């Protein structure tokens, strides 16, 4: 934790904000990433996760035991992600002398009537999603208010219960991995396809890199 000075102002001030990052892939970057990820989608066999509720989304094989991006050499997306991670981290930590690992990544297919139950990504420093196919109306990502356990407090009860994120093909969102989130039910006839991933930053005892910083 740091002790950076806060710029206070008269009246109501917010404290302990959480950093969330949104970026849209555009132009040539979008084209090469879109082609690469749709090629991956087309050769992926999606299935329901055993033990999960029947109305939850489908996933690519072995979703939480490896990195589908590295296994399939998705270097165009990894380079785009590198740029976004830089944009996200450098203003927060104040330097670019860091390393990270994409610990796992997987594809998600959400058809009509399906959704993602509320959950968090445990010990990941950063979690994220990239939308490969969406109409923008097939089930937005949302985050629970981290103060929801104190909702009986009159002040807290006036805060938003959930923050709903935008939904667009080519959009990437990054957030602290511990945040509880889910998606609304897809009520359209369109199947939403997304890529999810977890990132851990290098630190003492966890300092490996798998090419994530310099993927050429």
Of 115 and 123, more confident: 115
Measured in whole angstroms, the distance separating CA 27 from the mean position of its chain's CA atoms is 22
Residue 7: inside a domain, yes or no?
no
- 16-70 pLDDT, tens digit each: 889 999 999 999 999 999 999 999 999 999 999 888 989 999 999 988 888 999 9
Which one-letter DSSP state was computed for residue 149?
A: G
Averaged pLDDT, 110-131? 95
What is the three-class DSSP state of 172?
strand
Decide if pLDDT at 205 tops 90: no
Spatial neighbors of 193 by CB under 8 A, at least 6 apart, are 41, 107, 108, 109, 110, 131, 132, 133, 134
Question: What is the pLDDT at residue 207?
Answer: 55
Q: Tell me whether residue 208 is in a domain.
A: no
**Going by C-beta distance under 8 Å and a sequence separation of 6 or more, which residues neighbour residue 85?**
100, 126, 174, 199
Confidence of residue 211 (pLDDT cuts 50, 70, 90): very low
Name 105's Cβ contacts closer than 8 Å, sequence gap at least 6: 67, 68, 69, 70, 195, 196, 197, 198
Identify whether 215 is part of a domain.
no
Rg (CA), the chain: 18
Q: Is residue 214 part of a domain?
A: no
List the domain range (segments joined by +) for residue 29: 21-201
Per-residue model confidence as pLDDT tens digits over 185-201: 999 999 999 999 999 99
Q: CA-CA-CA-CA torsion for 59, 57, 48, 51, nearest 10 degrees?
A: 110
pLDDT of amino acid 60: 95
Residue 211 lies in a domain: no
CATH number at residue 181: 2.60.120.620
Distance, CA of 107 to CA of 69 (rounded, Å): 10
Residue 12 lies in a domain: no
> Does residue 142 lie in a domain region?
yes
- Is the distance from CB of 161 to CB of 144 less than 8 angstroms? yes
Residue 57's contacts (CB-CB under 8 Å, 6 or more residues apart) are 108, 109, 110, 111, 114, 115, 116, 183
14 within some domain: no
Count of structural domains within the chain: 1
Nearest to 134 by CA among 79, 179, 183, 75: 183
Average pLDDT value over all residues in the chain? 92
Split at pLDDT 50, 70, 90, the class of 209 is very low
pLDDT in the model for residue 14: 86
């Amino acid at each position: 934790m740091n002790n950076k000075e806060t710029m206070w102002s008269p009246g109501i001030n917010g404290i302990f904000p959480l950093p969330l990052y949104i970026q849209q892939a555009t132009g040539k970057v979008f084209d090469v990433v879109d082609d690469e990820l749709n090629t991956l989608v087309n050769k992926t066999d999606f299935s329901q996760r055993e033990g999960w509720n029947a109305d939850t989304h489908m996933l690519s094989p072995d979703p939480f035991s490896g990195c589908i991006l590295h296994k399939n050499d998705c270097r165009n997306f990894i380079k785009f992600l590198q740029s976004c991670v830089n944009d996200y981290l450098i203003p927060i930590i104040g330097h670019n002398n860091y390393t990270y690992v994409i610990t796992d990544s997987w594809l998600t297919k959400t058809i009509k009537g399906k959704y993602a139950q509320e959950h968090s990504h445990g010990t990941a420093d950063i979690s994220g999603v990239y939308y490969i196919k969406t109409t923008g109306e097939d089930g937005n990502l949302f985050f629970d208010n981290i103060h929801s356990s104190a909702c009986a407090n009159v002040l807290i009860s006036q805060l938003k219960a959930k923050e709903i994120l935008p939904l667009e093909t080519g959009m990437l969102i990054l957030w602290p991995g511990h945040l509880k989130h889910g998606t609304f039910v897809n009520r359209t006839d369109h199947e939403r396809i997304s890529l999810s991933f977890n990132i851990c930053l290098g630190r003492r005892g966890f300092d490996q890199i798998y090419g994530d910083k310099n993927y050429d």
